[in-house]
Amino acid sequence: MATILIVNAGSSSLKFQLFSIDGGDTLERLLKGQLDGIGTKPRLVVRDARGQVVAENAFSADKVEDLAAAQDVVGTWLLGHVGTPPTAVGHRVVHGGPFYSEPTVVDDQVLVTLEELIPLAPLHQPNNLAPIHSIRRQRPDLLQVACFDTAFHRGHPEIADRFAIPEAFYREGVRRYGFHGLSYEYIAGRLRELAPDLAKGRVIVAHLGSGCSMCALVGGRSVESTMGFTALDGLPMGTRPGQIDAGVVLYLLGEKVMDVKAVEHLLYHECGLKGLSGISSDMRELLASSDKRARLALDYFVYRVAMAAGALAAAMGGLDGFVFTAGVGENAPTIRQAIAERLAWLGIEVDPVANAEGRLRISSPQSRVTVLTVPTDEERMIAGHTLAILRHSAR
């Protein structure tokens, strides 16, 4: 059986999905799994296409101490369960820099270039690349495809990509890239299926999860995004601050005498909802808490999302649709309702029952703007890109 393995590696987890491919372009999800707690309490859980658990194993910390070891464990389990190695592997890679605007076959030079981009995404890029290195060591002949979170935004007009800094920096690649592009690309495709008329118009997609951003789509193409040079910018996130005055960073370096690594750790791991609340980075815990600090964090999050939505609507010259997606966007009706209430001036009105039930369309009949909740599927997007490259390389 020919299969495509999709790998999405994080700092302490390795998510994967396995798709079967027939002679055409059909992708059928066979398995979906995650090995989390890497280096602390490793645990592998795999489910089949029906959501039934087919494997649940715990490991000692020294058995799965890093992502390379996690890849070995997952690869060994898959080979034993499926019987044959995958035909190709697709990877989510957060940053493609100014170099990659489409999915790319990984070779030695591509890996060197992607390693050079680590300073632009220190929280994600090293983890994204670790499984690629591991697989190349064991199976150098296996086709691996890198799919970039920045690629979908590469068509932005120059005015949207620029910072107001000297030209030389822009030529070096210091520009606004935007992220979560695989999610936005998937949602743009789903809109063409679910609401084709809306897909032709002006739509804001809110990817709200542990990492958060928003994207302005016009005719299904990205024209603006809240994230910029790195995945720190824009909306407040689980542990990242979002938009912050550069002077704060200068203050931390100068007055607080923090070194660069300390500032980097603070901005990537100690800010956002975690920093504001002092309780948790998890939206579910904050929603369940009666602590006033949790309320502050939630109110701040909603306030900033609404502000960003106004800016994106201005960039498009109006708004026809608003889409919630990702973990929080798909599963937190309270947050959706609060954001919608702050955006009433744009003509958004949510139906409370439809919103509480998480229906596809949650806007009321009176709403001038169509509001949808659409689950994202970055792994299927990666699988589609990988299959296209696999088919092309076979010609």
pLDDT tens readout for residues 297-314? 999 999 999 999 999 999
pLDDT of residue 1: 79
CA distance 131 to 115: 13
Residue 23's pLDDT is what? 65
Can you tell me the distance from the alpha carbon of 257 to that of 252, in angstroms, rounded to the nearest whole number? Answer: 6
In sequence order, what are the beta bridge partners of 143?
Answer: 88
The reported pLDDT for the residue numbered 393 is 76
Q: Which residues of the chain have pLDDT under 50?
A: none
pLDDT given for residue 395 in this prediction: 64
Using one digit for the tens of pLDDT, what is the confidence trace for 53-98? 999 999 998 888 888 888 889 988 998 888 889 999 999 999 999 9
Q: How high is the pLDDT of residue 26?
A: 82
Of 88, 84, 40, nearest in space to 394 by CA: 88
- Residue 300 DSSP SS3: helix
Phi-psi region of 231 (alpha: psi -120 to 50; beta: other; left: phi over 0): alpha
d(CA 362, CA 352): 8
The answer to whether 209 and 327 have CB atoms below 8 angstroms apart is: yes
Secondary element (H or E) of residue 4 = strand 3-9
Tokens standing for residue 59: 């490991």
Pairing mode, strands 221-225 and 212-218: antiparallel
pLDDT at 279: 95
Whole-prediction pTM value?
A: 0.93
Active-site position among 149, 233, 351, 377: 149
Q: Is 197 an annotated catalytic residue?
A: no
Residue among 326, 336, 388, 387 nearest 362 (CA): 336
Q: What is the pLDDT of residue 189?
A: 97
Q: Is 241 in contact with 234 (CB distance < 8 Å)?
A: no
